[in-house]
Structure 1
Amino acid sequence: MMREYVAFYCFNSSKSRFQLKSPYIFDTNMQSYDSTYLEIFTHSIGACLAYLPKFGKGNEGLNLEAFQEMYANDPLYQWFGLGSPRIYAAHRAAGGITSIYRQIGIACQALFRRILQDQLSLLPEQITWSYEVSTTSGKRRKLALDARINLSDVQDEQKSKEFEVG
């Protein structure tokens, strides 16, 4: 059975830092989880299929017809030919690529959390942790960890022993 090293730190309720003692905590023979893990990626990336460029017009996005109508009403844009379907396609492709990269990142976070859940028999709420801070403009911003493991939640004694105070 192949094993791989996964490096990360964990904290217990007294804020002591723990580190993996051994590279053998995770079983990489996880074929039974393959379809679930693949679904995490395909679901996330699938969000890109419906991407429409927004052109500063809110959250809805504009289809080709709305884009052409908007640019046809602007004499400067019309003069430069910026209302053409090719310009729209370029905007959609550029935004779509950015969206794909973002969705891959989101999928990686979700996959990491799910693997921890599956391997350590934890619930989503047992690995989720976030807090809010105030920005310089006075708005609240939520910051979150990819995952947080409270060692008291790990019920498998063998896996629990794989952590040491760091």
Structure 2
Amino acid sequence: MHSNSIRTHMAEDGIPEEARAAGSWSARDEHYREIVLAPLRDAMKYKPKMGTDKAVSLPDFISLYSSDPLYHWMGLDNELMYLAAKAGGGQTSIYRHLGDGMERLVRQIFIDEYQLTEEEVNWGYVITEDNGTQTHRTLDGRLDLSMIRSTEKAEILADWLNSVKEAQGTQFDLQGAVFEIRQGYKSQDSKRAKGDIVNGSHALNSAYQMFVMVMSMQIPNAVRSRYERSNICVMTGNLQDDGPLTSTYAFFRQVVGYDLAGFFERNSQVFRDQTHAILTSILEAK
């Protein structure tokens, strides 16, 4: 799917042009780190509900399960049972909040690199449900050629969109692309995929190609194939893939003009330390 003729932000020596302005990394990195970490910190507050309507602390759990005859007889009123529930739900919470952070980060990079407003980077549409009610659906990000103020960036994006058009066999010119941003997939969520396919159809009706942008490499082959059969492009966080149509990090480096992989590498220790603190908090019995 990769066309060698795509104009990119890469210099002849292979170094992204953005990397030459390394002196500006510090403040920007700090801003982007906080975008990623702010939602993740909420995972530290996670407590399981244990079948109730609100989060339950360890003492409340012991009281709740000790008063249940079956659970008491079976020994489920055990601190380890609470920790198991907290660990399982906490892991899900981490993935969910990581996804929130990735979505916000990508949108902010689009805003910064293309000088877009919050409104310009968003895209949505209205559908009428079977019961007659109207629902407004939104996607996580948009790049529209008519909104790109930089001539160079517009030309690079236009070249990339032409490559997308050729790869997809689209019979009309694309005005832009819209994105659903995911940290990764931990299940074959058929309901989510069905909604994405509807989104993709509406996007094409507006001359936008829809991409599912996966920040990690975690997506089941069956899910990816279903998207691609439905004319939705998928890019993943594969550093070994240099194609800007299929690799999230190649797309950012070559098309957007921002080295996203470099950002994560520079700040990896900060992220790892924060994740360790979150996991430690989740696994504490309290």
Partner deviation per Cα, 1:18-75 (whole Å, 9 max, x = no partner) = xxx43318854361410011101111210101001022322x3111122122212210
The structure with the greater share of residues assigned to helix is: 2
Q: Which of 115, 120, 129 lines up with 2:114 in the alignment? A: 120
Q: Which of 20, 27, 37 lines up with 2:32 in the alignment? A: 37
SS of 2:32's equivalent in the other structure is: helix
Q: Which of 58, 63, 82 lines up with 1:64 in the alignment? A: 58
SS of 1:57's equivalent in the other structure is: coil
Q: Relative to structure 1, is the Cα distance of residues 91 and 154 closer, same or farther in structure 2, using a 3 angstrom cutoff? A: same
Structure 1 counterpart of 2:9: 24
Is 1:90 matched up with 2:84?
yes
Identity between Structure 1 and Structure 2 (%): 30
Q: CA RMSD in A?
A: 2.9
The 8 Å contact of residues 52 and 61 in structure 1, kept in 2 or not, is answered as yes
Structure 1 counterpart of 2:96: 102
Partner deviation per Cα, 1:76-133 (whole Å, 9 max, x = no partner) = 0011111211111111111111111111122111111111111001111211123455
Higher relative contact order (CA 8 A, sep 6+): 1
Comparing 120-129 and 144-153, the one that deviates more:
144-153
Q: Gaps spanning 5+ residues in structure 2: where? A: 11-15, 166-286
Comparing 61-70 and 126-135, the one that deviates more:
126-135
TM-score by length of 2: 0.45
SS of 1:148's equivalent in the other structure is: strand
Q: Gaps spanning 5+ residues in structure 1: where? A: 1-6, 8-20
Structure 1 counterpart of 2:42: 47
The 8 Å contact of residues 27 and 119 in structure 1, kept in 2 or not, is answered as no
SS of 2:141's equivalent in the other structure is: coil
Give the aligned length.
147
The 8 Å contact of residues 113 and 146 in structure 1, kept in 2 or not, is answered as yes
SS of 2:146's equivalent in the other structure is: helix
Separation in 2, partners of 1:152, 1:40 = 27
The 8 Å contact of residues 154 and 160 in structure 1, kept in 2 or not, is answered as yes
SS of 2:61's equivalent in the other structure is: helix
Q: Name the amino acid aligned to 2:40.
A: I
Q: Relative to structure 1, is the Cα distance of residues 79 and 131 closer, same or farther in structure 2, using a 3 angstrom cutoff? A: farther
Separation in 1, partners of 2:129, 2:50 = 26
Separation in 1, partners of 2:30, 2:104 = 14
Q: Relative to structure 1, is the Cα distance of residues 126 and 136 closer, same or farther in structure 2, using a 3 angstrom cutoff? A: same
Structure 2 counterpart of 1:81: 75
Is 1:159 matched up with 2:153?
yes
1:152 CA displacement: 2.3
